Structure 1
Amino acid sequence: RTKALVLELLAAVCLVRGGHDIILAAFDNFKEVCGEKNRFEKLMEYFRNEDTNIDFMVACMQFINIVVHSVENMNFRVFLQYEFTHLGLDQYLEVGDPRVG
């Protein structure tokens, strides 16, 4: 539940003036400090984790939608969409959970 609340707060920060840049800078910093190859890598890892609860998954999708769609520059919006596609979000959403079935 804590992770879901954190994502809800981050999403809210994205919506205030200058907040979007702060959130992206924080994820860039996290990427560098934790040695990720891609921004949002750990977030997507948690999203795909089998132990993840539905509250977190909903908060994660809301956060992703806000991060991507609160940008006015269409080229940058497409770039952000690509980042999540590159990390497997589209494939996960299309196929669903491979453990179910």
Structure 2
Amino acid sequence: MSVKEGAQRKWAALKERLGPQDSDPTEANLQNADPELCARLLQVPSVVNYSGLRKRLESSDGGWMVQFLEQSGLDLLLEALARLSGRGVARIADALLQLTCVSCVRAVMNSQEGIRYILGNQAYVRQLSQALDTSNVMVKKQVFELLAALCIYSPEGHALTLDALDHYKTVCGQQYRFSVIMNELSHSDNVPYVATLLSVVNAVILGPEDVRARAQLRSEFVGLQLLDVLSRLR
């Protein structure tokens, strides 16, 4: 049997194990699925598939996660997230698909193997930041939480987050790298979302050990009316 035939049989076996999609309207049963099959499943984006994958990612061990990453699992997730962000969220179905996709990225980052893999590739954090270009507040909240976590995790994570915000500024035609954070703070009355945004500001400012670097970052935020926004929030 050729490699291609073997892969096709594995794929058929997975679909048989999952059964018809309407047999479980909430998530695919991927409890025992191997990394290759999960990566292949990402080529069929759906809330059912993403929800099942998130559960599998959360319960996976380090070896499984490494294989999933080697099968381009994270690449496929971030590419899908970028496509979904470009659509807008005119339909509830699209908004839910976007949210379940970013929850899978979060599950990857919650593992030591996943976050190390992300820190090793500048493009991943840049792709993640581009998911902020959406009107879906729940998605933006999760992305900002992940960026804050990277800032706190290590100096490399902090540097990659700043680079990603610079990249977002360029791609989306904004004037300053922190404009995306301050614009959201200025216009949102969603309390949990505002709390997340403030945690990002803190993580960015407090990330460097050097006091002068912290002062410079704080000055950038103050220049974008951070103090006025904080006064309004009080």
Task: Give TM class, smaller chain.
Answer: 0.7 to 0.9
The count of corresponding residues between Structure 1 and Structure 2 is 95
The two structures have a TM-score, normalised by structure 1, of: 0.86
Q: How far apart, CA to CA, are the structure 2 residues paired with 1:42 and 1:15?
A: 19
Which residue is equivalent to 2:218? Answer: 81
Q: Which of 39, 47, 51 is equivalent to 2:185?
A: 47
| CA RMSD, Structure 1 to Structure 2 (Å) | 1.3
The answer to whether 1:38 aligns with 2:191 is no
In structure 2, list runs of 5 or more residues that go unmatched: 1-137
Q: Larger C-alpha radius of gyration, 1 or 2?
A: 2
Q: Which of 162, 170, 175 is equivalent to 1:24?
A: 162
Which residue is equivalent to 1:63? Answer: 200
The two structures have a TM-score, normalised by structure 2, of: 0.39
Q: How far apart, CA to CA, are the structure 2 residues paired with 1:5 and 1:34?
A: 19
Structure 1 runs (4+) deviating above 3 angstroms are: none
Q: Is the CA contact (8 Å cut-off) linking 2:152 and 2:158 kept in structure 1?
A: yes
The amino acid across from 1:93 in the alignment is L
The amino acid across from 2:165 in the alignment is F
CA offsets 1:44-82 (integer angstroms, 9 cap, x no match): 1111114x4111100000111011012111111011001
Give me the identity figure in percent.
33
